[in-house]
Amino acid sequence: MSANKGRGTLDERAQKLLKTLIERYVRDGQPVGSRTLSRETALDVSPATIRNIMADLEDHGLVASPHTSAGRIPTEAGYRMFVDSLVTVKPLKKKVVEELNEGITDSGDNAQALVANASKLLSQFTQLAGVVTTPRREHNQLRQIEFLPLSGNRVLAILVVNSREVQNRIIDLDRSYNESELRQAANYLTEQFGGNDVVEVRERLINDLKNTQASMNQMMVDAISIAQRAFEAGDTEDFVLEGQTNLMDFAELSDIDKLRSLFDVFARKRDILHLLDQCTRGQGVQIFIGQESGYEPLGECSVVSAPYSVDNEVVGVLGVIGPTRMAYEQVIPIVDVTAKILGSALKSST
Amino acid sequence: MSANKGRGTLDERAQKLLKTLIERYVRDGQPVGSRTLSRETALDVSPATIRNIMADLEDHGLVASPHTSAGRIPTEAGYRMFVDSLVTVKPLKKKVVEELNEGITDSGDNAQALVANASKLLSQFTQLAGVVTTPRREHNQLRQIEFLPLSGNRVLAILVVNSREVQNRIIDLDRSYNESELRQAANYLTEQFGGNDVVEVRERLINDLKNTQASMNQMMVDAISIAQRAFEAGDTEDFVLEGQTNLMDFAELSDIDKLRSLFDVFARKRDILHLLDQCTRGQGVQIFIGQESGYEPLGECSVVSAPYSVDNEVVGVLGVIGPTRMAYEQVIPIVDVTAKILGSALKSST
DNA sequence: CATTAGCAGTCTGGCCAGCAGAGTGCTAAT
DNA sequence: ATTAGCACTCTGCTGGCCAGACTGCTAATG
């Protein structure tokens, strides 16, 4: 038994064959036979030899045949090996990078529009479904607070953070406040905490309320309790999915039931968010192949994702979702570059 | 030739048969034959008679047969007649109304959440796709204006309207303004225009700028030109679509290409918005059947919609989209009631 | 004269056999 | 170790066949 058999490492030739097999299979979706493979490679070996090697690859669990007299198709393990060590990512053409850059930069300057556009571009350029989580900074600088009285004991709190994001929340209070009370409270808070991190502000608020309650006048106490309520609910995390209809073109998803459960997962959002969350750790492009994601409806799908950062802080994840049989060597650089562009676009708009 | 033949009006018996034919066809999607129809009705006529009547109905263009030896299925004209004069809408059960009511009312109190929930409920209760346009009032009462300086000549304008909606826009100006200038301008505008209708404010702004420019001090001119910019861009109208995956269960849409073009229309949004816009005129439930919508991808779909109002003013449209073969007698009251509930829910949250 | 029974005609959908095409695994030769 | 050759197998397509379901027509009926 020679080195390229059994559980050992793979022959270089075998690797090369696996690579071309996957590339070929990705191209036209048909199981690849030995004859085709022998013609495709420059190795100059006969189909018979290829058949032997294919048997080895099958032992390794890297390829499989759908039935006796079909060619081979890659298994998930095969794809895994491919993306880990075999794939040669083509650097993107300058023109493509420019198009991406313009597409994102030109999309107005609010964060939501940038994100939506990035998602659209991802789906356009890859012909898969693009997905981008809304940015979510650890460090949100509080700029200003306003309170407006509503009916009953309710108050509309408006927080301006990071100089262009506006959040507003309705808070229920224990008693009603008039306009001037609220204005005083808002001014006090803005003065006191403006320029500080939101999380930090929240902590200081909690402390202040506990420790110095006695020494503060009623207005400040009120202001703080109002503000505390306003900070309670964190931002709702979310993502923008575009081009999901692209997925309907793939034969492996033409089964309407599979497609439906896939779309249902998208609509439910929770699972996808959880999955994307995992991509936050680690930097650079990450790939989930098929079952690796742990979600059944994503069974025959892969996720290629990359976190994007502003000021060296990871604020979100973007990527594409498509069938396991996708052109990784093209998708990977697109995801990679888009993440970088989006990151800097968000930065420059701050 | 008797009264129920040719282009004349329809026999009562013929109408009854058309009705049960449609009800039956809606139920199980199969062409309905004369034998079935004779058993289904209490008319006590033989299949042969039914066949004669069916021939009449076919002359009238109300039913058609897919091929020689199949039963009949309703045409679009048939459905049209059905919904116009034949259908007996069952009033909803109290329990259902309550569930709808609670489902919408309990969904927090911002408008966006209410709308999203209404859409979800529509899709749940009908097993079709639910759609609700975001409310858009003619009369938006301006409550307050704030300006915050950004980098360069840009300013973040925050408008509070109708006491709980907050809009913010970034505007480019011809020169930069410092914080105190902006505050003055904001105060001036809020004082001057607070409580007025946004559209009206805009008009007054344009006039003021033209007529009295000379007599105003620079600050006011600045304030007005800033505000004018802020009012320029109208609200972006939009809709919330839920449960589109429900549509994948219908046999008439199992063709993946039809499904795709349908979903593409949803994603493009523009056409759907235009279609829904048409439902604004006229009150009560409106129905588009198949080609009537004028949009090709909606070929085999119907839209059942109703406008919803706050304070007697129509502010949006909601409805469901599903295959032409849908249970109108159930869908119609659901849409109707949901529109009313959503309207009053929006009112009470003002 | 409307209604009905009966009958011939027709279209679909499922089933099966047969066949070409593609590819494998094995064996024996190089 | 590689390769040529061969027998074998599995798919996908085609055409024929048959049962089932309806219709439209004609002639009979109250």
| Pairwise CA distance, residues A293 & A91, whole Å | 27
Q: In the listed set A199, A232, A265, which residue is the last one of a domain according to the structure?
A: A232
Q: Residue B104 carries which side chain, given as an amino acid letter?
A: I
Contacts of A163 in chain B (CB under 8 A): 148, 150-151, 156
Q: Is A199 exposed, middle or buried (0-12, 13-18, 19+ CB in 10 A)?
A: middle
Domain membership of residue B228 (yes or no) is yes
Domain membership of residue A89 (yes or no) is no
Q: What is the pLDDT of residues A61-110, one digit of tens each?
A: 999 999 999 999 999 999 999 999 999 998 999 999 999 999 999 877 67
Test B156 with A166 for CB contact under 8 angstroms. Answer: yes
| Residue B216's pLDDT band (cuts 50, 70, 90) | low
Q: What is the pLDDT of residues B60-88, one digit of tens each?
A: 999 999 999 999 999 999 999 999 999 99
> Given B110, B151, B259, which is nearest A170 (Cβ)?
B110
| Other CB atoms within 10 A of residue A277 CB | 12
Is pLDDT at B214 greater than 60 in this prediction? Answer: no
Is pLDDT at A350 greater than 60 in this prediction? Answer: no
| Other CB atoms within 10 A of residue B71 CB | 19
**What are residue B63's DSSP bridge partners?**
B74
| Pairwise CA distance, residues A141 & A193, whole Å | 9
> Given A148, A156, A263, which is nearest B245 (Cβ)?
A263
Output the pLDDT for position B217: 62
Output the pLDDT for position A252: 80
Per the structure, the residues numbered 27 to 56 in protein chain B that have their CB within 7 angstroms of any atom of strand C are 44-46, 48-49, 52
| Pairwise CA distance, residues A241 & A46, whole Å | 47
Q: Of the segments A73-82, A193-202, A279-288, B174-183, which one has the largest average pLDDT value?
A: A73-82
Better pLDDT: B51 or B182: B51
Q: For strand D, give the nucleotides within 7 A of a protein CB.
A: 1-5, 8-11, 20-26
Query: Are B243 and B172 found together in one domain?
Result: no
Q: What is the pLDDT of residues B148-189, one digit of tens each?
A: 777 778 787 888 887 667 777 778 787 888 888 888 888 888
pLDDT, mean over chain A:
87
Query: Are B247 and B336 found together in one domain?
Result: yes
Instruction: Name the DSSP class of B72.
Output: B
SS3 A57: helix
Output the pLDDT for position B27: 94
| Pairwise CA distance, residues B96 & B100, whole Å | 6
Output the pLDDT for position B331: 98
For residue B45, the domain's CATH number is: 1.10.10.10
Better pLDDT: A214 or A6: A214
Output the pLDDT for position B4: 42
Query: Are A71 and A45 found together in one domain?
Result: yes
For residue A327, the domain's CATH number is: 3.30.450.40
Better pLDDT: A225 or A256: A256
Query: Are A266 and A334 found together in one domain?
Result: yes
Query: Are B207 and B65 found together in one domain?
Result: no
Output the pLDDT for position A204: 82
Size of interface A-B (CB pairs under 8 A): 70
- Give the distance from CA B163 to its chain's centroid: 25
Test A245 with B256 for CB contact under 8 angstroms. Answer: no
Domain membership of residue A81 (yes or no) is no
For residue B215, the domain's CATH number is: 3.30.390
Domain membership of residue A313 (yes or no) is yes
Output the pLDDT for position A212: 65
Output the pLDDT for position B255: 83
| Residue A217's pLDDT band (cuts 50, 70, 90) | low
> Given B163, B170, B244, which is nearest A110 (Cβ)?
B170
Test A168 with B166 for CB contact under 8 angstroms. Answer: yes
| Pairwise CA distance, residues A70 & B165, whole Å | 62
| Residue B2's pLDDT band (cuts 50, 70, 90) | very low
Query: Are A299 and A198 found together in one domain?
Result: no
Unique residue bearing structure tokens 């006048």: A217
What nucleotide is nearest B47 when CA is compared to C1'?
Answer: C4
Output the pLDDT for position B234: 60
Question: What distance in Å separates residue A286's CA from the closest CA in chain B?
Answer: 28
Question: What distance in Å separates residue A46's CA from the closest CA in chain B?
Answer: 41
* Average pLDDT value for residue range A196-224: 73
Unique residue bearing structure tokens 């007025």: B196
| Pairwise CA distance, residues A54 & A65, whole Å | 10
| Pairwise CA distance, residues A73 & A28, whole Å | 11
| Pairwise CA distance, residues A225 & A54, whole Å | 70
Query: Are A209 and A251 found together in one domain?
Result: no
* Average pLDDT value for residue range B308-337: 95
> What's the total number of domains in chain B?
3
Angle between helices A328-348 and A94-105 (to 10 degrees): 40
Pick the range with the lowest mean pLDDT from A213-217, B1-5, B6-10, B216-220. Answer: B1-5
Output the pLDDT for position A60: 96
On the CB side of A177, CA atoms within 13 Å amount to: 26
Asked if strand C contacts B67 at the CB level, meaning under 7 A, the answer is yes
The residue of B145, B164, B257 whose CB has the most chain A CBs within 10 angstroms, and thus the best one to mutate to test that interface, is B164
Q: Is A90 exposed, middle or buried (0-12, 13-18, 19+ CB in 10 A)?
A: exposed
Determine the residue of chain A that is closest to B154 in CA distance: A164
Q: How far is the CA of B48 from the C1' of C7 (A)?
A: 13
- Contact residues of B toward A, CB < 8 A: 109-110, 143-144, 146, 148, 150-151, 156, 158, 160, 163-164, 166, 168, 170, 242-245, 248-249, 254, 256, 259-260, 263-264, 267
Q: In the listed set B187, B213, B232, which residue is the last one of a domain according to the structure?
A: B232
Query: Are B227 and B196 found together in one domain?
Result: yes
| Pairwise CA distance, residues B86 & B22, whole Å | 10
- Give the distance from CA B237 to its chain's centroid: 12
Contacts of B111 in chain A (CB under 8 A): none
| Pairwise CA distance, residues A197 & A127, whole Å | 40
Is pLDDT at B199 greater than 90 in this prediction? Answer: no
Are the CB atoms for A224 and A263 separated by under 8 Å?
no
| Residue B6's pLDDT band (cuts 50, 70, 90) | very low
Q: What is the pLDDT of residues A326-346, one digit of tens each?
A: 999 999 999 999 999 999 998
Backbone angles phi, psi at A99, to 5 degrees: -60, -45
Output the pLDDT for position A5: 41
Domain membership of residue A199 (yes or no) is yes
Q: What is the pLDDT of residues B115-129, one digit of tens each?
A: 999 999 999 999 999
Are the CB atoms for A264 and A253 separated by under 8 Å?
no
Q: What is the pLDDT of residues A121-174, one digit of tens each?
A: 999 999 999 999 998 877 778 888 888 777 778 887 888 887 667 777 778 788
Output the pLDDT for position B8: 61
Output the pLDDT for position B73: 97
Contacts of A146 in chain B (CB under 8 A): 144, 146, 158
Are the CB atoms for A181 and A215 separated by under 8 Å?
no
Query: Are A248 and A343 found together in one domain?
Result: yes
Query: Are B119 and B244 found together in one domain?
Result: yes
Q: In the listed set B70, B86, B102, which residue is the last one of a domain according to the structure?
A: B86
* Average pLDDT value for residue range B43-66: 95
Domain membership of residue A181 (yes or no) is yes
Contacts of A108-111 with C-beta under 8 Å, sequence gap 24+, read: A109/A164, A109/A349, A109/B170, A110/A164, A110/A349, A110/B170, A111/A135, A111/A164, A111/A165, A111/A346, A111/A349
Test B256 with A254 for CB contact under 8 angstroms. Answer: yes
Domain membership of residue B5 (yes or no) is no
| Other CB atoms within 10 A of residue A250 CB | 19
| Residue B5's pLDDT band (cuts 50, 70, 90) | very low
Determine the residue of chain A that is closest to B171 in CA distance: A109
The bridge status of strand B63-64 relative to strand B73-74 is: antiparallel
Backbone angles phi, psi at A63, to 5 degrees: -135, 170
Cβ neighbours of residue A217 closer than 8 Å, sequence gap 6 or more: none
Domain membership of residue B2 (yes or no) is no
Output the pLDDT for position B153: 82
Domain that holds residue B275: 94-136+237-348
Query: Are B111 and B194 found together in one domain?
Result: no
Alpha helices in chain B (DSSP H): 12-28, 34-40, 47-59, 76-81, 94-105, 111-126, 179-193, 198-211, 218-232, 256-268, 270-278, 328-348
Q: What is the pLDDT of residues A36-54, one digit of tens each?
A: 999 989 888 999 999 999 9
Angle between helices B94-105 and B328-348 (to 10 degrees): 40
Query: Are A261 and A284 found together in one domain?
Result: yes
Q: What is the pLDDT of residues A302-328, one digit of tens each?
A: 999 999 999 888 999 999 999 999 999
Are the CB atoms for B321 and B134 separated by under 8 Å?
no
Is pLDDT at B294 greater than 70 in this prediction? Answer: yes
